[in-house]
Amino acid sequence: MGKLDEKVAVITAGTSGMALATAKLFVEEGAYVFITGRDKNRLDRAVREIGRNVAGVQGDASVLTDLDRLYDVVKGEKRRIDILFASAGDSELEPIGSVTEAGFDRIFNLNVRGTLFTVQKALPIFNDGGAIILNGSIAGQKGIPGFGAYSASKAAVRSFARTWLVELKDRNIRVNVLSPGTIDTPILDRFSPEVKESFRKAIPRGQMGRPEEIATAALFLASGDSSFVNGIELFVDGGTAQI
């Protein structure tokens, strides 16, 4: 018996890193998983890597028509959603003097607007008693030079959870935020070795997290193990946000 037997899950941006590791674990625990990704080749590769009980739907979480198409596919194939991991997001290293309008809009369109409409458009086919997980970040709680717009976007995601758990309480839908620290994923390749080393040094345990460590936390929030957990921000960061 798996912890997610017979459940239907949707994971946005599930083609690599933390979200891909989560999709794999959800399938191992009995779920059928829909993943999304903007790049068709990467999406197809992720589906092959997961291997079973998975479907890939190409799309961008910041594009509302792509979200409509995603949920049309889910409704047509499974008719419902039990678990949603709104994982799509991005970051930008831009000190305040370098922030551009285009850069700001890109971050907020994906991290904030995309998260809102990913959840909103799922609700008509969302099972009462289901679980929504929002992808946060320790940056929403800490002052990290160069990440002002990104940090603000993740603080907004944290705020969404507080509001939505109240709005959805009559449907017994739980909404929690999973906030990773620095995780060793390909997205870090955009940063210089010096910046990555500064990230590592800020972690009390002295090493970055692994995608699988995020996946096990997501499984907890998605499963009945967390049935009395609602509205929290779960930091999975080696202690970085606590100091």
- Every domain of the chain and the residues it spans: 8-235
Q: pLDDT, tens digit, for every residue of 203-231?
A: 998 899 999 999 999 999 999 999 999 99
Q: pLDDT, tens digit, for every residue of 102-119?
A: 999 999 999 999 999 999
- Torsion region of 13: left, alpha or beta (phi above 0 gives left; psi -120 to 50 gives alpha): left
- Residue 92: pLDDT band (50, 70, 90) is confident
Q: pLDDT, tens digit, for every residue of 5-40?
A: 999 999 999 999 999 999 999 999 999 999 999 999
Mean local confidence (pLDDT), 200-204: 90
Which residue in 34, 150, 160, 220 is the catalytic one? 150
- Residue 93: pLDDT band (50, 70, 90) is confident
- Residue 243: pLDDT band (50, 70, 90) is confident
Catalytic: 71? no
User: Is the model's pLDDT at 1 over the cut of 90?
Assistant: no
* Superfamily of chain region 8-235: NAD(P)-binding Rossmann-like Domain (3.40.50.720)
| pLDDT for residue 180 | 96
User: Is the model's pLDDT at 160 over the cut of 90?
Assistant: yes
Average pLDDT over the chain, rounded to an integer = 95
| pLDDT for residue 187 | 79
